[in-house]
């Protein structure tokens, strides 16, 4: 199948036009799309009129899907679909004190999906169904390009470091309201390389973000200082792309080489609903 590729920014992002994701891609096209995705970290497919089942089928071609670990965030009857939204099941606005509203605010911090799991997610695909008039964009940062741009001393310093990612560190404001004891016990802190090697491209990438709590073998202060510094470095404008959603946009990104965050919008009045599928990783990072 023929499609066109254009870059979104010099360091991150490509747009693919000419494919209809309602139809299964043939193997050759899939391999080409996969290469564009590996090269550019995020791929935008505009104007896709897909439903949940078509999104699940497309994502499954990338890899096996994660199931959503929090009942309140699932699409009813479809545990593969994560609803990124400020809307209830009937599309009415959630109350300001709804636990999901806090989760949404937490997602405004830079993070990689599922980095709090021992086998973290490979990819995420987000499809826009309802978008606000303004705000609610998603920003993406290329953490492999950011790693490449580090000075040699910093590269050497972080080469063998292990960082602990902990969901309840990044969600420290939300945990009392949003999670059951069972859900908490299912997500213990996990260890990852801070300069993670991408299993497909072989490139190193900074593996931090807001789930990163502490670096092993360092004091709390030293560790927080380094994590914050690396996050600031990786999210400089030159490594990032800001996506302003239009209904029908599908964005596929590589969680092994990207950080992302949602931007704020008027969630008390404006409606936003995007559906995410999450492709599972294949092996632990250590």
Q: Footprint of Fe ion on this chain (CB under 5 A)?
A: 113
Q: Identify which of residues 113 and 254 has a Cβ nearer to Fe ion in the complex.
A: 113
Q: Identify which of residues 113 and 213 has a Cβ nearer to Fe ion in the complex.
A: 113
Task: State the minimum distance, in angstroms, from the CB of residue 50 to Fe ion.
Answer: 20
**Torsion of the alpha carbons at 173, 213, 200 and 126, rounded to the nearest 10:** 10
Give the integer Cα–Cα distance in Å for 109 and 209.
8
Task: State the minimum distance, in angstroms, from the CB of residue 138 to Fe ion.
Answer: 8
Q: Identify which of residues 227 and 274 has a Cβ nearer to Fe ion in the complex.
A: 274
Q: Identify which of residues 196 and 260 has a Cβ nearer to Fe ion in the complex.
A: 260
Give the integer Cα–Cα distance in Å for 188 and 16.
38
Task: State the minimum distance, in angstroms, from the CB of residue 123 to Fe ion.
Answer: 12
Task: State the minimum distance, in angstroms, from the CB of residue 260 to Fe ion.
Answer: 6
The structure tokens listed for 242 are 């800001």
Nearest to 45 by CA among 11, 82, 20, 72: 20
How many CB atoms neighbour CB 190 within 10 A?
20
Instruction: Starting at the earlier edge strand, list the strands of the sheet with 258-262.
Output: 240-243, 138-142, 258-262
């Amino acid at each position: 199948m023929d499609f066109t590729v254009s870059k979104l920014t010099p360091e991150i992002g490509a747009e693919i036009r000419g494919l209809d994701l309602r139809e299964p891609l043939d193997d050759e096209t899939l391999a080409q799309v996969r290469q564009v995705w590996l090269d550019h970290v995020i791929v935008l497919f505009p104007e896709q009129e897909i439903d949940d089942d078509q999104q699940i089928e497309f994502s499954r071609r990338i890899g096996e899907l994660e199931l959503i670990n929090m009942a309140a965030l699932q699409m009813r009857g479809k545990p593969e679909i994560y609803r990124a939204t400020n809307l209830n099941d009937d599309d009415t606005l959630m109350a300001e004190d709804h636990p999901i509203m806090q989760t949404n605010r937490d997602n405004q911090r830079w993070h990689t999906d599922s980095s709090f799991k021992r086998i973290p997610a490979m990819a995420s695909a987000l499809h826009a169904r309802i978008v606000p008039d303004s705000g609610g964009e998603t920003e993406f940062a290329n953490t492999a390009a950011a790693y490449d741009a580090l000075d040699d001393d910093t590269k050497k310093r972080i080469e063998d470091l292990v960082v602990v990612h902990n969901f309840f560190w990044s969600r420290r404001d939300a945990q009392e309201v949003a999670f059951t004891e069972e859900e908490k016990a299912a997500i213990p802190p996990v260890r990852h390389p801070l300069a993670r090697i991408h299993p497909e491209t072989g490139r190193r990438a900074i593996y931090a973000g807001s789930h990163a709590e502490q670096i092993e073998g360092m004091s709390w202060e030293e560790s927080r200082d380094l994590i914050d510094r690396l996050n600031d470095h990786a999210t400089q404008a030159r490594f990032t792309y800001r996506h302003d959603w239009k209904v029908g946009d599908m964005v596929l990104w590589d969680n092994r080489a990207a950080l992302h965050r949602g931007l704020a919008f008027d969630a008390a009045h404006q409606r936003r609903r995007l559906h995410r599928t999450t492709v599972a990783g294949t092996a632990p990072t250590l």
